[in-house]
Amino acid sequence: MKNNNFKACKIFFLVTLLLFGFSNQAMSIEKKSVLFNLENILGTFPQRYSEGEREDLLELLYLQATRTKDQCENARLEEEVSVETFFGGENGPLSPKETRRLKIFSFFKKICVGIPAAIAKGIFERPRPYLTFSEIKPCIEKEDSYSYPSGHAAIARAMAHILAKKFPERAALFYERADEVALNRVLGGVHYPSDIVAGKKLADALSKEVLSDKRLLMEIQNL
């Protein structure tokens, strides 16, 4: 199983490099080449003082005013990126046995989706909402990284894409949970709604390429 997951991660990472314009000398690629491809996939975030930023802020303030302690606690529990925190637990779509079996899968998804998300953050350099607006008070731990796109939203949706292929009868449940994880990042006060949209776009772009490989689909069934 570990070997299958390693090969799947390798394929995923190679596709990521292609999507972002990397060559075999990935480390020497100019930043502008990566920027061009990411902008095509994600677009840019709402600029300062724009109507889009205003809508982002209003949604943040609404969720901040209406959130409960239980909702904040759920968001806090999802700070750790894993199959268990996203899709396991008492009400999760995965059983405890399935969650244990898929733990290694959680690792390679975090790396293979988390890396391009981190690259995008460094390129767009959007500050976290609480750094721009003092009225935003997070109820979960603050982040040191940039805000756009949301890595949690990207990873959760990418996981949902893969899990839906393995357990198609539960596909709707996986996507519903991924959306909850993404929304909780806004409810918690550490992301804008537009960060979530961008994270989902990133996951969709990566997953579309990866899941077109029939060999990989077979390996997913063997996880």
Domain positions in the chain: 2-41+51-221
Q: Which range has the top average pLDDT, 19-33, 125-139, 196-210?
A: 125-139
- Output the pTM of the full model: 0.84
pLDDT at residue 212 above 60?
Answer: yes
Lowest mean pLDDT among 79-83, 105-109, 156-160, 161-165: 105-109
What are the tens digits of pLDDT across the range 152-186?
999 999 999 989 999 999 999 999 999 999 999 99
Distance of CA 67 to the CA centre of its chain: 22
Residue 25 has pLDDT above 60, yes or no: no
Q: Which of 197, 210, 218, 222 is nearest to 105 (CA)?
A: 222
Amino acid at 3: N
Considering only residues 171 and 216, tell me which one the structure prediction assigns the higher pLDDT. 171
What CATH architecture is 2-41+51-221?
Answer: Up-down Bundle (1.20)
Q: How far apart are the first and last CA of the chain?
A: 6
Give the chain's mean pLDDT: 84
One-letter identity of residue 38: L
Distance CA(36)–CA(7), nearest Å, equals 28
> In which band, very low, low, confident or very high, does the pLDDT at 110 lie, cut at 50, 70 and 90?
low
Which of the two residues, 148 and 29, has the higher pLDDT score?
148
For 56-65, 117-126, 172-181, 214-223, which range has the lowest pLDDT when averaged over its residues?
A: 214-223
